[in-house]
Amino acid sequence: MRFFSDFESGNLGRITELNASEYELEINPDTNNGKFRLWFYFGVEIEKGACAQKCLFHITNFSKTKSCYRLGMSPLVRSTLSSSWSRIEESDCFYYRSPKHDRNYVLSFVHEFEQGHGGEVYYFAYSYPYTYTDLQKYLHRLERLEMPFLQRKLLCRTIQNRRMDILTITNPDTGANAHSKKKKHVMITARVHPGETPAQYICQGLIDLLVSDHPLAVAMRDKLVFKIIPMLNPDGVFLGNYRCSSLGFDLNRHWTNPSWCQPEVKAAKQMLLDFYQDPDIDMDFFIDLHAHSAATNGFMYCNEPGNRKDSSQARVFPRLLDKQAPTFSLQQTRFDMDPSKEGSGRRALGELFPDVHCYTLEVSFFASTSSLEEGNTTGAGRADVYGETCVPYTQDSYMELGRNVALTFAEYYRIKAK
């Protein structure tokens, strides 16, 4: 067996062979920041002619103790014999404090490798991978469609000279629209934390809906301007980091006063300031897309309504999304002024723009329980979480949540299909 992670978004550190079928694995920390160790993504190549065998892997150095692994989550696996990811069986996965590893939490899981016929490769990942190159290919496909209501621009270059793109989605103001009142602007950002790949799938689902022929999408493009930064931390994504940029900064704690060390946040904030100060632009809404490593369902963090223009209005969008999206939980949504989250996009922009509603949307790395209330039992398997049945998220169900977020804007702004 040959272990490797020298590919885009890959992450694997030291490997210790305990015996022919048991290995201890360590995760490399984020680049220039030893504090964060959660995301892993690596390959195992099987020698030609190797016999089928079961192997036991121990990942020994997670930096977090609270984890969806406690709730029944398991790693993902895909081989070159298959085009799709699947989860390791829950019964073959164990998460526990290990006396052998200074009482650190260890994830142990078993995988059975099929008999090797010609150098098969198996990939293991913390969550569904979505690389910088994946995004660039997706944006290129959209551009090739030459849709008049979609514009892609380079907002800035990263420290490592990668693109940070911004999309504008709105119908051109021509004909009857030319004399309509100014459109409200909706700002959407994703992937400031590179290991939070579910946020990228949500963002893609949202974009897919907004550029589609869905009657509500057409009507929203007449009334709204969507500004979308689909990947706020391209360097961190490329390097296989969990939370930080190439220089080791958690970019979502630097919105208050970004410097040259955080060019992505600096450029995004300056753009928003320019919009806010422009009398011809009505900047109305900001939402930042994330993934949560210790909770189930989708839910939102909202700013305390005391500083908002209307405390009741701040609760409207989460309530509407709860009705629209079966995997979203209004019960888990909360107004939060946690000091540890100062400098986040939601907090910093909420204070800077008191008449703009600012939110964080979180989604579980693992599963939904709220969807079962509607009788929805689709998904890759089922698990019991403290007596509560849940449905693991898939790439498709993450994108479906994104589509539901997009449709919620139509109801929020009372836009009807033509």
| Burial class of 341 by CB neighbour count within 10 A (0 to 12, 13 to 18, 19+) | middle
Q: Are residues 277 and 364 in the same domain?
A: yes
In-domain check, residue 16: yes
CATH assignment at residue 120: 2.60.40.3120
Task: Assess whether pLDDT exceeds 90 at residue 305.
Answer: no
Q: Which of 125, 142, 159 is the last residue of a domain?
A: 125
For residues 90 and 227, state if they share a domain: no
Residue 292 belongs to a domain: yes
pLDDT, tens digit, 9 for 90 and up, residues 162-184: 999 999 999 997 655 554 568 99
For residue 418, is it within any domain? no
pLDDT at 375: 41
Whether residue 254 sits in one domain with residue 149: yes
**Which residue range forms the structural domain that includes residue 93?**
2-125
pLDDT in tens, 357-372: 999 999 999 999 965 5
Of the ranges 44-48, 64-68, 187-191, 236-240, which one carries the lowest mean pLDDT score?
Answer: 44-48
List the catalytic residue out of 24, 120, 264, 362. 362
- Sorted by sequence, the CB contacts under 8 Å of residue 382 that are 6+ apart come out as 389, 390, 391, 392
Looking at 125, 160, 175, the residue that finishes a domain is 125
Least confident of 57-71, 94-108, 185-199, 379-393: 379-393
pLDDT recorded at residue 103: 83
Do 306 and 391 lie in one domain? The reply is yes
Domain membership of residue 217 (yes or no) is yes
Per-residue pLDDT tens over the stretch 194-205: 999 999 999 999
- Whether 417 is in a domain gets the answer no
The pTM is what? 0.94
Co-location of 118 and 152 in the same domain: no
Computed over every residue of the chain, the mean pLDDT equals 91
Residue 279 sits in a domain whose CATH number is: 3.40.630.10
* Three-state SS at 294: coil
Q: Does 119 lie in the same domain as 251?
A: no
Are the C-beta atoms of 32 and 96 separated by less than 8 Å?
Answer: no
CA distance 319 to 219: 22
Q: Do 318 and 286 have their domain in common?
A: yes
Comparison of pLDDT for 136 and 307, the residue scoring more: 136
* 331 found inside a domain: yes
Q: What are phi and psi of 311, to 5 degrees?
A: -65, -35
Domain count, the chain: 2
Domain boundary among 125, 154, 171: 125
pLDDT at 376: 42
3-state DSSP assignment of residue 106: strand
Answer yes or no: do 70 and 218 share one domain: no
Token pair recorded at residue 32: 């220039």
Cβ neighbours around 118 below 10 Å, total = 9
For residue 90, indicate whether it is catalytic: no
Q: Are residues 136 and 87 in the same domain?
A: no
| Cα–Cα separations (whole angstroms), residue 99 to 60, 83, 170, 314 | 11, 38, 57, 47
pLDDT for 81-137, tens place per residue? Answer: 888 999 999 999 999 999 888 888 999 999 998 876 667 899 999 999 999 999 999
* Pair 272, 345: CB distance under 8 Å: no
Q: Specify whether 101 is located in the same domain as 211.
A: no
> Each residue of 242-291: pLDDT tens digit?
999 999 999 999 999 999 999 999 999 999 999 999 999 999 999 999 99
Residues 92 and 175 in one domain: no
What pLDDT score does 179 carry?
47
51 with 155, same domain?
no
User: If you average pLDDT over residues 329-355, what whole number do you get?
Assistant: 90
| Per-residue pLDDT at 237 | 98
